[in-house]
Amino acid sequence: MSKRAIAGGVCSVVAIIGLVTTYFAEEIRTGERGLMIIGNAEGCRREPYKCPADVLTVGIGSTAAGGEVINPNKRYSDLEIAERWVNDISIAENCVNRYANGLALPQGAFEAATSITFNVGCGAMKSSTLFKYAKQGNIIAMCNQFPRWVYAGGQRLKGLELRREKERQLCLAD
């Protein structure tokens, strides 16, 4: 595959964040710091692809889990990617609000919890020790749980280690 073909399928995380903060800021609580962690960890692709878990994915980690089916033959625009991402972020935020007392969390802790929930899913997080500490208001203990979430398929992954440290730092920031 040529470099041009590869580059054509990639989109800019910064551009998508710009669209989200310009057009959809009222729809989500997660701000630029949290969006940067999620976006940089997930990457951005205009054309649907199968992720390592063999799930059809497009944009910034968007799957059909948000209720919107992915057309495998479509090339998505920046605005379509931003809209899908806002929907997916909202789902993660709703999980944090419901199971981790998200409305009472400081902004950094909320965004970090949203990031990890976006990554691993609500089902994995809702009964986690991380969410248990969040519900108790024990933010430091909550934040120190992030480094435990660095395994996928039974393997410790460097990419997850880096992401979790960024989430931990954001969690402790506010």
Per-domain residue ranges of the chain: 3-173
Angle at 25 between CA 160 and CA 59, to 5 degrees: 45
Check whether 139 has a pLDDT greater than 80: yes
The rounded distance, in Å, linking the Cα atoms of 157 and 165 is 12
- Domain 3-173, second-level architecture: Orthogonal Bundle (1.10)
**42 close to 61: Cβ distance less than 8 angstroms:** yes
Overall average pLDDT of the 158-171 stretch:
97
Catalytic residue among 11, 42, 44, 167: 42
To the query of whether residue 51 is one of the catalytic residues in this protein, the response is yes
Identity of the amino acid at 141: A
Residue 53 carries which DSSP code? T
**22 close to 82: Cβ distance less than 8 angstroms:** no
To the query of whether residue 42 is one of the catalytic residues in this protein, the response is yes
Residue 152 has a pLDDT of 87
Overall average pLDDT of the 4-23 stretch:
83
| Tokens representing residue 93 in the block | 């935020």
pLDDT class for 97, splitting at 50, 70, 90?
very high
Number of H helices, E strands in the chain: 9, 4
* Residue appearing with tokens 């020790």: 129
Q: What is the CA radius of gyration of the chain?
A: 16
Catalytic residue among 27, 44, 47, 51: 51
pLDDT class for 8, splitting at 50, 70, 90?
low
| Tokens representing residue 12 in the block | 């800019």
Check whether 173 has a pLDDT greater than 70: yes
Q: Which of 9-18, 57-66, 119-128, 135-144 has the lowest mean pLDDT?
A: 57-66
